[in-house]
Structure 1
Amino acid sequence: MPAEESQPIRLRHRLEAAALGGLLRLLRALPARTRYALAGRVGEWARHMDRRHARVARESLALRYGEETADQKVREVFRELGHLAGEMALLERLSPQELQSMVTAVEGREHLEATTADPRGVLILSVHGGNWELLAQNLPHYGLNPLHVVYRPLDNPLLEDRLRACRERHGVHAIDRRRSSREVLEALRRGETVAMLMDQHLRDSTRIWLPFLGEPVRVPTTFARFAKKSGCLVLPAFMVREGAERFRLVFLPTIEPDRFGDDEDGIRDLTAETVAAMEAGIALAPAQWFWVHRRWRSEPRALLPDQRQPPWSGSVRP
């Protein structure tokens, strides 16, 4: 644990870790459907306690789907976050066979096979939707191995160590986003797989304005630059919740970076292509996307003309 941490912070981290450990043990002891129903109910209740994130979600949902249904959609978003939390209790104990048994359908398998047959490395593009941790831990069992995941470490080092160990059980190597460039490129040039979630606000010096879910937003070009420098295929992949601990694994058509120019126009076009792929992934189950994140930061908020939102879906009940 870092020496510069104060005693109150260390105490808080220990209490958080102990509370989470107790909650995970309780959830693991419950039958699957009970665990699923309870986690969803707790998620719905949490929107009343976490008013700041509920407000963030409501603003974006009301803008896209109208004021009349915004409150109900916020409730469904928090329910799915509850389901996500309940599923996390299982990841420390699942065997590879149990992990794969949670995936009841695979769509776009031909796109997966195109990448595993290619000697180049693979860049997995995904979003904070469905269960992205379960997605990462499943991918090595589908031939995408070794797999590296670029992520932001948790603030609590005790929880961070626990999550890292959980990932490594299934062959996932974590790369700290703050020091990722060299490690990502080296892995891709060795023909390995790197997964990145690119749907959130990132402090990147090379961001460009693009529409995302109908609203202008600054998008980092980091992903496109990795793809161009390495020359690897891009494979969009998403894990969509279908029921109580049951998921659909979806692969969308690969993106070939060589189709785009090597100049800044090419980087912009490739970045726009990745944004479109992320939008398609979110559209599979909009209720399961991480609406509580403050992705759009421009004021006043407004959609671009003639922008249509994906039909609302993805709210799963027991």
Structure 2
Amino acid sequence: MPNTGEDTESEERVSATDRLGNAAFLAVMGLARLLPYRQRIGLVGWFFSRTLGPLAGWTARARANLSLAMPELDAPQRRQIARDVLDNAGRSMAEIYSGRAFTDRIAAADPLTGPGLDALADAAQAERPVILACAHFGNYDAMRAALSARGWPVGALYRPMNNDAFNAHYIPAIRAISEPVFPRGRAGFAAMLKFLRGGGMLALGFDQFVQDGTELQFFGLPSRTVLTPAELALRYDALLVPIYGIRQPDGLSFVVEVGRPVDHTTAQQMMQALNDDLEARIRARPGQWFWVHRRWKKRRRG
């Protein structure tokens, strides 16, 4: 087909939007960094919950997902949880961009606890591969900082953002918390497997919709779930543990809880166990999970 110029115009619009969004984000973070740590974290949380979330449609999407998964909640409860969700998201982003101020706080607190901590320590001592099953709950980077502070080798798989201008500062920010980090893609996956086989602890998310995932249950609803964490645990005889960086009532500190290791059975059974564990955590603290995800999307046909 002849080039009508529409693709170029679309790319230019997207690029301009990306640049504008990135500039706005940097302006907010630049202002926040002028403040002491406590006020900085609170300010960005407020900005996400009261301004960015409603404008971006995230608040409405969170409330819609809450209606679907937790219909027992009334409208005021859904509104408050959605506000808490965006406040937590903003605080988490501010923490990522606080660098040493964030990681030093985590190291000083040594917040690791939970029924799976001894098994995790044993795996580290034996240099046994570990899969850390993590979710967008609390701040998962608190987990990376806490494990790294103990001298344990913790790596993570990440998806670069679609906004290249944003990636230019976001990727260095997550690297500053702990390394290595591996981008999704063939090269990143190969490096990730080498790290895992060498006895590393690899953080893998499992709480987002995956187009080619397996249909499992989450909040009593069918939800396509990635099997990769369990499949890698079975393939490399890796310890598989759920882990959560749980934000505390002060909004600044964390408990990093290592859950009980998941028994090696089948990949489907293991991932269902992780879904069930995460659901229980969310029901106890619904404002700490990122309800903005389209977790219950229907699979596209064709």
Cα separation, partners in 2 of 1:175 and 1:37, compared to 1, 3 Å: closer
Q: Which amino acid aligns with 1:276?
A: D
Cα separation, partners in 2 of 1:118 and 1:70, compared to 1, 3 Å: farther
Q: 2:261 aligns with which of 254, 257, 282?
A: 254
Cα separation, partners in 2 of 1:103 and 1:38, compared to 1, 3 Å: farther
Cα separation, partners in 2 of 1:90 and 1:37, compared to 1, 3 Å: closer
Within 1, Cα distance between the matches of 2:137 and 2:291?
A: 9
Cα separation, partners in 2 of 1:254 and 1:144, compared to 1, 3 Å: farther
Within 2, Cα distance between the matches of 1:272 and 1:104?
A: 27
Within 2, Cα distance between the matches of 1:54 and 1:90?
A: 21
Within 2, Cα distance between the matches of 1:236 and 1:153?
A: 23
Count of aligned residue pairs for this structure pair? 285
Report the Cα offset of residue 222 of structure 1.
1.9
SS of 1:196's partner is strand
Q: What is aligned with 2:19? A: 14
Q: Decide which structure has greater helix share.
A: 2
Task: Provide the TM-score with structure 2 as the length reference.
Answer: 0.81
SS of 1:245's partner is coil
Report the Cα offset of residue 163 of structure 1.
1.8
Structure 1 residue runs without a partner (length 5+): 261-265, 300-318
Q: Which amino acid aligns with 1:168?
A: R
* Contact 1:210-1:216 at 8 Å conserved across structures: yes
Q: Which amino acid aligns with 1:228?
A: L
**Structural mapping, 1:87-236, within 5 Å:** 87-95=92-100, 96-101=103-108, 106-108=113-115, 109-145=117-153, 147-179=154-186, 181-204=189-212, 207-236=213-242
Cα separation, partners in 2 of 1:41 and 1:67, compared to 1, 3 Å: farther
Report the Cα offset of residue 244 of structure 1.
2.7
CA distances 1:26-80 after superposition (whole Å, capped 9, x unpaired)? 11222444444434433332443233x3333223322444366234323333333
Cα separation, partners in 2 of 1:154 and 1:103, compared to 1, 3 Å: farther
Q: Which amino acid aligns with 1:59?
A: A
- Supply the RMSD in Å over aligned alpha carbons: 2.8
Q: Which amino acid aligns with 1:157?
A: D
* Contact 2:240-2:261 at 8 Å conserved across structures: yes
Q: Which amino acid aligns with 1:127?
A: A
Within 1, Cα distance between the matches of 2:176 and 2:225?
A: 33
Cα separation, partners in 2 of 1:8 and 1:64, compared to 1, 3 Å: closer
Report the Cα offset of residue 81 of structure 1.
2.1
